[in-house]
Amino acid sequence: MAAKKKKAPPAAPPSFEDAVDELEELTERLAHEPESLGQLIDDFERGQELIHFCHSTLKTARNRISVIQASLQNEQEEAPDPITTPSADNDDVRLF
């Protein structure tokens, strides 16, 4: 009996945008009758891999944004408020 060749899984797309583009292509191909059941299953499997990649990328982006926002909030809390903090340069200026 002949052994089945296992093909190497496709590499992850280099970017989120590439993954979305490939998912759109797969969706189109799946929407119009696939060539064979084997191709259908391969396309479905690749689509699942791409969806996982996109979810992971989005989760990483959300985490990075949270870190940036927290950092900016900490900087704002630590910086003195120029309106309420008296300045030595403006001692002679009085409003009302």
Among 11-15, 42-46, 51-55, 75-79, the range scoring the smallest mean pLDDT is 11-15
Per-residue pLDDT tens digits for 24-70 = 999 998 888 778 899 989 999 999 999 999 999 999 999 999 999 99
Q: Write down the pLDDT at residue 14.
A: 82
Give the DSSP letter string of 2-58.
Answer: PPPPPPPPPPPPSSHHHHHHHHHHHHHHHHS--S-HHHHHHHHHHHHHHHHHHHHHH
Q: Write down the pLDDT at residue 93.
A: 62
Place of tokens 């900490």: 74
Residue 40, both tokens: 């259908």
Residue 95, both tokens: 């409003």
